[in-house]
Amino acid sequence: MLDFTEASLKKVLTRYNVALEKAMTPEDAAEELYPKDELIYPIAKAIFEGEEDDVIEGLQAAMDAGKDPIALIDDALMVGMGVVTNLYDEGIIFLPNVMMSADAMLDGIEFCKENSETAPVTKGTVVCHVAEGDVHDIGKNIVTALLRANGYDVVDLGRDVPVDDVVKAVAENNPIMVTGTALMTTTMYAFKEVNDKLLEKGYKLPFACGGGAVNQDFVSQYTLGVYGEEAADAPKIADAIIAGTTDIAALRDKFHKH
């Protein structure tokens, strides 16, 4: 008869990769993803750490070495944010970490703009708002920060936005997508009004909605609605749109989870 102690049994039952995952810190995981370029590496690391001053210092060093400021947005800042997004998707880091990194990246983008004579090419424009009657804008603020950090121009209409103002912003800015957030069940019905008025005006762009009061079944009831369960879904939906997935049904197939 084999005589296993509790300690030895745990060793037998613990897979190697599980033990490795427990031993690996978020910093260790990020280290494996950083670019190897000696000028880009410190910028990407500073983005992950959410250190605005270190981002600027790294960008300045790269510019002094001859790097183009606008090129650094894609080649360094976006790369660093990509590390953050990857680790967030894997559940290794959490939303507060992402927000810190996004803020650091936005500071970096502004610094690059200030040091260049040309404007960066953006992926597209997104109109964001909080439903009419709703003053809770934390979710919307996270969405706008993540969209900007991923290279989108954001028209931020703020909170408690009248339905007609949303439609007007679409007409004036030609966005690839509209986002709406609602925390109160009494206000989320404004999304249906936005949907109907957009259709009346001939606009058929995706309308990504989320927030504490909103669920997938509700969003699926109106023609343009695409449900985002988390704020981090907003840039993913936008990326899918510019990659060619503009059909609402296809976006729902991709992002609706239940």
- Taking only the tens place, the pLDDT of each residue in 11-28 is 444 443 444 445 689 999
- Taking only the tens place, the pLDDT of each residue in 71-82 is 999 899 999 999
| pLDDT band with cut points at 50, 70 and 90 for residue 1 | very low
Our count of domains for the chain comes to: 2
- Taking only the tens place, the pLDDT of each residue in 123-146 is 999 999 999 999 998 889 889 988
What's the pLDDT score for residue 23?
Answer: 65
My answer on whether 35 and 153 are in the same domain is no
State the chain's mean pLDDT as an integer: 90
My answer on whether 89 and 133 are in the same domain is no
My answer on whether 84 and 132 are in the same domain is no
Cα–Cα distance, 175 to 204 (Å, whole number): 11
* Percent of the chain topping pLDDT 70: 91
Q: Is residue 71 part of a domain?
A: yes
CATH code where residue 83 lies: 1.10.1240.10
**Taking residues 140-166, what's their average pLDDT?**
94
Cα–Cα distance, 254 to 246 (Å, whole number): 11
Residue 23 burial (CB count, 10 A): 8
pTM: 0.76
My answer on whether 54 and 174 are in the same domain is no
Q: Which residues constitute the domain of residue 166?
A: 124-255
